[in-house]
Chains A and B, each alone.
Chain A
Amino acid sequence: MATADALPIGRAAEIIESAEIGQWGAVWRRLRRHRFAVLGAVVLGLFTAIAVLAPVIAPAGYDEQDLLRRYLTPSAQNLLGTDDLGRDVLTRLLYGARISLTVAFTATLVATIAGAALGAVAGYLGGWTEVVLMRLADIMLSLPQLPILIILSAALGPSLQTIVVVLVVFGWMGVARLTHGSVLALRHREFTEAARALGGGAVHNIVRHMLPNALAPIIVAATLGLGNRVILEATLSFLGLGINPPTPSWGNMLQNAQGYIWSEPWLAVYPGACIFLTVLAVNFLGDGLRDALDPRLKI
C-alpha cells in the first residue's frame, strides 16, 4: 500500500515526461534556418569525410619523397605542388586532416564525457566532492592553457596519444561546470522527487533524467571546444611538441613551411587555411546550435 507521502506511480511518471525536453524537432528546424550553421556543418562534414577517406582518395603516400621533384608548383600530377622533400602537398593535407581531426574529435569526446560525469557527480552529491571538484575546475580554468600544455607534452614525449591526453586533462572543466550547474538546479525540483519516488538509484537518476536537460549547453560547449582543440593541437605540433614528422599534421606542416617562407611561401598557406576553415566551420555550427537550442540567448 502506498504511504501517505509517496507519490502514486502514474503521477510520478507524468511529471517526469512533462519536464523532459521533447522539442528536438523544433531545434532541428531552427538550426536549418541558420544559413551559416548549415554551411559550417557541411564544411565540417566535408573535412571529416576527407579525414576518414584519406588513405583511399590520396593521390600518393604521405611520406613518398622524391628529391628530384621538390618545390614544384601545382600541376596535373601534384594538384597543390610538392614540398621540400618532394612529397605531394595535397596528400599531406589530406592525411593532415585525418590526424588533426582524429586528435580533436577524440579529445573532445573523452573530455566531454569525463567533464559531464564529473560535473554531474559534483552536482548530485554535493558536500566535499562538489567543493573539491569545482574548485579544481575553477583553478584549472584560470591557468593559461598553452604554457602548461607545452611543458606537459614535452615531459610526456610528443606523440598523438600525448596530445589527446593533455587536451583531455585540460578540457574537462567547461563541460563539468555546465553539467554541475544544471544538475544543481534540478536537484531540488519536483521531478527529481518524482524520480526518487519511482525508486531509481542515483546513477539512474542522473543519467536518465538530469543529463538530458543539461544536454543543450553541453552540445554547444563540445562543438566550440572541438574548434579550440584543433587549434591547440596545431599549435603544439607547430612548436614541435605534438605530432612528429614524418606524420603530417596541419600544425607541423606549417612548422616545416616556416623555414621556406622566403623561397616557397605558398607552402605555409594551405595547412593554415585548412585549420582556419575547419575551425571557422565549427564555430559557425556551434553558434547556430546555441541559437537553435535556446533562441532566447540571441546575441
Chain B
Amino acid sequence: MRNYLLRRVLQMVVLLVFVTGLIYFVLNLFPGGPFDFLAFSSDPRDADPMAIQRLEALLGIDKPWYERYFTWFLGVLHGDFGTSWVMAVGIPVGDLLGQRIGNTLTLSITATVISLTIGLAIGIWSAVKQYSLSDNIATAFSFAGQSMPTFWLGLMLIIVFAVRLKWLPAGDIYTPGKADDVGDRVIHLILPVAVLSLIQIALWSRFVRSSMLEVLRQDFLRTARAKGVAERLVLGKHALRNALIPVITIVGLDIPNIFSGAVVTESIFNWPGMGKLYLDSVLRHDIPVSMGVLAVIAFLVIASNLLADVLYAVVDPRIRYD
C-alpha cells in the first residue's frame, strides 16, 4: 500500500504543478502589477518607466514567467509564499494566510460536522423508510438543496433573520468590542454555517440514502436476521458498516469543495477567512496572495485524496493496494 500511496502523491504533485503553472501563466498574460498605482500618482517622477523597471527588478518580476513560477514553487516548498503586492504591501503572504485560516477552519469544520451528522441521520432514515412520507420530504429537500445557489440562500437567510426578524447578525465574525465573547462569536457563526450546511446536507443525505438502499438489498442482512440478531443491530451494525464505506470516500474527496463553498459564503457574510482573502486578491490582482491560497488548496486536494484512499482501505477489508 505504501508504494501505491507514494505513486499517487507523485502523480498528484506532478499534475498540480502543471495546473498551478498553467494558472500562473494565464495570470501573467494580463496587465496589472504592484506598481500600477504609480501611474495615477500626482508626482510625474513616479510614472517614470525606468524607475518602474528598477522597482520591478527589485521584486524580481521582470523575469520571464516560468522563471518566476519556478522561484515561487521552490519558495512554497520552503513555506515562503512571497509577499503581497496590493492588499497589504510588503506583508508576507504566509502571514496573511495564517491570520485567516483559523476563521475558515472554524466555519468549514463546524459546517462539515453538522452536515455529516444530520446528513447521515436523514439518509439512513430515508433508506429504511423508503417511499414513506418522510422519505419523500427528504427527497424534496435534497432536490431543493442541489438547485439552490449558495449566495441566494445566504441572502434570503440574512433578509429573514437579520433584516426582518433581527434575531441574528447580518455578517462579520463578532460584534465590535466583543471580540472575546464566545457566545457572541457563536451567534455570528449560525447563519454562515446554516448556509453551508443546508446545501451540504441536501447532497450528502441523498448519497447516504442510495448507499444504504444498496446495502439493504443484500443477502447477508437476511442471514443476520436468521441468526436472531435484533433489527437495530442488523441495521446499525451490519448494514451501516457497509453503507458507510462509500460515504467515507465521498466525504473525504469533498473536503476541498467545502472550502470553495466557503468562498461565496465568506463574501456574503463578510467573514474574514481565506475564501474572502482569495476573492479580494483576485479582484485586486494581488497575484502572490492568490497563488498562496491556491497552493493551500492544492495541498488540501492532495491530502484529502490520500486520506480518502487510506480510509477506504482501512474500512473495507476487501481493498488491498499493491
Are A and B close enough to touch in the complex, i.e. CB under 8 Å? yes
Interchain CB contact under 8 A, B290 and A268: no
Bound Cα distance A154, B19 (Å): 16
Given pairs A135-B11, A148-B294, 20 additional interface contacts (CB within 8 A): A139-B19, A140-B19, A147-B278, A147-B293, A150-B282, A151-B23, A151-B290, A155-B26, A156-B26, A235-B151, A238-B151, A241-B282, A254-B155, A258-B155, A261-B159, A268-B152, A269-B156, A272-B152, A283-B143, A299-B213
Q: Which residues of B contact A136 (CB under 8 A)?
A: 15
Interchain CB contact under 8 A, B143 and A284: yes
Q: Which residues of B contact A151 (CB under 8 A)?
A: 23, 27, 282, 290, 294
Q: Which residues of A contact B259 (CB under 8 A)?
A: 144, 147
Q: Which residues of A contact B149 (CB under 8 A)?
A: 231, 234-235, 238, 272, 275-276, 279
Q: Which residues of A contact B12 (CB under 8 A)?
A: 139
Q: Which residues of B contact A24 (CB under 8 A)?
A: none
A contact face: mostly helix, strand, loop, or mixed: helix
* B29 CB–A CB distance under 8 Å: yes
Which of A146, A157, A269, A280 is close to B264, meaning CB atoms less than 8 Å apart? A146
* A75 CB–B CB distance under 8 Å: no
Bound Cα distance A51, B27 (Å): 34
Instruction: Type the 1/0 row for A215-238, where 1 means its CB is closer than 8 Å to any CB of B.
Output: 000000000000100010011001
Q: Which residues of A contact B267 (CB under 8 A)?
A: 239
Interchain CB contact under 8 A, B256 and A142: yes
Q: Which single residue of chain A is at the shortest CB-CB distance from B259?
A: A144
A28: min CB distance to chain B, Å: 23
Bound Cα distance A258, B305 (Å): 36
Interchain CB contact under 8 A, A147 and B146: no
> Interface size of A by Cβ–Cβ distance < 8 Å?
46
* B283 CB–A CB distance under 8 Å: yes
Instruction: Please name the 8 residue pairs, one residue from A and one from B, whose CB atoms are nearest each other, closest first.
Output: A272-B152, A144-B260, A279-B147, A146-B260, A280-B147, A144-B256, A139-B15, A265-B159
Bound Cα distance A151, B149 (Å): 20
Number of A-B contacts (CB under 8 A): 130
Instruction: Type the 1/0 row for B257-278, where 1 means its CB is closer than 8 Å to any CB of A.
Output: 1011101100110000000001
* B242 CB–A CB distance under 8 Å: no
Max count, chain B CB within 10 A of own CB: residue among A155, A258, A265, A272:
A155
Bound Cα distance A183, B256 (Å): 31
B contact face: mostly helix, strand, loop, or mixed: helix
Bound Cα distance A152, B26 (Å): 7
Bound Cα distance A157, B279 (Å): 15
Interchain CB contact under 8 A, A265 and B163: yes
Max count, chain A CB within 10 A of own CB: residue among B147, B170, B257:
B147
Instruction: Type the 1/0 row for A259-298, where 1 means its CB is closer than 8 Å to any CB of B.
Output: 0011001001101110110011011100100000000000
Which of A144, A145, A275, A280 is close to B144, meaning CB atoms less than 8 Å apart? A280
Interchain CB contact under 8 A, A157 and B155: no
Q: Which of B1-47 contact A (CB under 8 A)?
A: 11-12, 15-16, 19, 23, 26-27, 29-30
* A240 CB–B CB distance under 8 Å: yes
Interchain CB contact under 8 A, B26 and A261: no
Interchain CB contact under 8 A, A148 and B163: no
Interchain CB contact under 8 A, B282 and A283: no
* B210 CB–A CB distance under 8 Å: yes
Interchain CB contact under 8 A, A142 and B156: no
Instruction: Type the 1/0 row for B145-168, where 1 means its CB is closer than 8 Å to any CB of A.
Output: 011111110011011000110000
Q: Which residues of A contact B261 (CB under 8 A)?
A: 146
> Interface size of B by Cβ–Cβ distance < 8 Å?
50
* A133 CB–B CB distance under 8 Å: no
Q: Which residues of B contact A68 (CB under 8 A)?
A: none
Max count, chain A CB within 10 A of own CB: residue among B144, B149, B210, B283:
B149
Bound Cα distance A128, B275 (Å): 38
Bound Cα distance A265, B165 (Å): 13
* B234 CB–A CB distance under 8 Å: no
Q: Which residues of B contact A240 (CB under 8 A)?
A: 283
* A143 CB–B CB distance under 8 Å: yes
* B301 CB–A CB distance under 8 Å: yes
Max count, chain B CB within 10 A of own CB: residue among A144, A231, A299:
A144
Interchain CB contact under 8 A, A147 and B143: no
Q: Which residues of A contact B240 (CB under 8 A)?
A: none
* B124 CB–A CB distance under 8 Å: no
Bound Cα distance A163, B164 (Å): 35
**Would you mind naming 9 contact pairs between A and B with Cβ atoms under 8 Å apart?**
A144-B301, A147-B263, A155-B30, A156-B26, A235-B151, A261-B155, A272-B155, A279-B148, A283-B146
Known: A268-B159, A275-B149, A283-B146. A145 touches B260 (CB 8 A): yes
A239: min CB distance to chain B, Å: 6
Bound Cα distance A143, B301 (Å): 7
* A94 CB–B CB distance under 8 Å: no
Q: Which single residue of chain B is at the shortest CB-CB distance from A136?
A: B15
Q: Which residues of A contact B209 (CB under 8 A)?
A: 299
Bound Cα distance A238, B146 (Å): 18
Bound Cα distance A268, B155 (Å): 7
Bound Cα distance A279, B146 (Å): 8
Bound Cα distance A151, B210 (Å): 35
* A257 CB–B CB distance under 8 Å: yes
Interchain CB contact under 8 A, A157 and B30: yes
Q: Which single residue of chain B is at the shortest CB-CB distance from A271?
A: B152
Q: Which residues of B contact A152 (CB under 8 A)?
A: 23, 26
Bound Cα distance A273, B267 (Å): 20
Q: Which residues of A contact B15 (CB under 8 A)?
A: 135-136, 139
Q: Which single residue of chain B is at the shortest CB-CB distance from A265?
A: B159
